[in-house]
Amino acid sequence: MCIRDRATLCARHDKRTLLIDLDPQASATDYFGLYEQAEDGANVIGLLYEGMTVSEMAYDSGTDNLRVIPATLALINQNELLLAEQSLRFALDDAAGEYDVAIIDTAPSAKQLVLCAYVATSGRGDVIIPVKLDSTVMRGTASVVDSLRLVATKLRLPVPSWRILRTCVPGRMTNAEAVGEAILDRFFPDQQFRTVIHESAKVKEGSWEWKPIVEFMPGNRAAVDYENLGRELGLWDE
């Protein structure tokens, strides 16, 4: 739910927001009810491989100030094709005056698509690495960081700015979660957001009603966390 909450919150703060679904599972697309339209019409594949523009690919989300470029399951096959790594970056350049914020949703397993997103953010955006405090925290985080550095080496671009966002943080941590926190603090002491996203059953309840937590229950602790994250990113002051 993290990506949809961030996109919805940016729109509610009067930011002209573009959400690009680059995840082959297309969960963000499905969430906004755009999957069938994307299968039959424009979707992110046209942006990446066919030279289409953002304005041709973006759909109204049903939320003011928020447009979505949807994905389909066909991205699973497209991910294996040779991709012009700069295609998304160039498309966003062309649409720079139309939006205040662009958010790209990716899946770690879709390596070629993730590379495209990293290139798009190099030198001008933030890569947010969401983590849970479990046994995979070190391996998963290190893998993402290595991939970011690889972009810089192979394509001679600046290393994309990145920070770690702790998610699903419980009110009272288990011993295992405390170990995960200690590992992050040891190896990435200066690369973490001050804000953390707390665990809340209301997030799941809202998902059954197809509502992000910032709409389903704005006063919920997780919703407040997302507000604070936006402030820390410098997206709004109030």
pLDDT tens for the 238 residues of the chain, in order? 578 899 999 999 999 999 999 998 999 999 999 999 999 889 999 988 888 999 999 999 999 999 999 999 888 776 555 556 788 999 999 999 999 999 999 987 777 788 888 889 988 889 999 998 887 778 888 888 888 888 778 778 888 899 999 999 988 888 888 888 999 999 999 999 999 999 999 998 988 888 889 999 999 999 999 999 999 999 998 6
CB within 8 A of 181, min separation 6: which ones? 133, 166, 173
Q: What is the pLDDT, as a whole number, of residue 163?
A: 95
Task: Please give the DSSP secondary-structure letter assigned to residue 170.
Answer: -
DSSP H or E segment with residue 17: strand 17-22
Q: What is the pLDDT, as a whole number, of residue 201?
A: 92
> Which residue's structure tokens are 């973490």?
192
Q: What is the pLDDT, as a whole number, of residue 83?
A: 57
Q: What is the pLDDT, as a whole number, of residue 140?
A: 82
Q: What is the pLDDT, as a whole number, of residue 78?
A: 61
Q: What is the pLDDT, as a whole number, of residue 85?
A: 72
By CB atoms closer than 10 A (0-12, 13-18, 19+), residue 25 is middle
Q: What is the pLDDT, as a whole number, of residue 51?
A: 86
SS3 content of the chain, % helix, strand, coil (to 5): 50, 15, 40
Residue 17 near residue 63 (C-beta atoms within 8 A): no
Query: CA 120, 29, 193 angle in degrees (round to 5)?
Result: 50
Question: Using alpha carbons only, how large is the chain's radius of gyration in Å?
Answer: 17
Domains defined for the chain, CATH in brackets: 1-116 (3.40.50.300)
Chain centre to alpha carbon of residue 92: 15
Per-residue burial over 56-68, b if 16 or more Cβ lie within 10 Å, else e, is ebbbebebebbbb
Distance from C-alpha of 126 to C-alpha of 84, rounded to nearest angstrom: 21
Query: CA 20, 26, 28 angle in degrees (round to 5)?
Result: 60
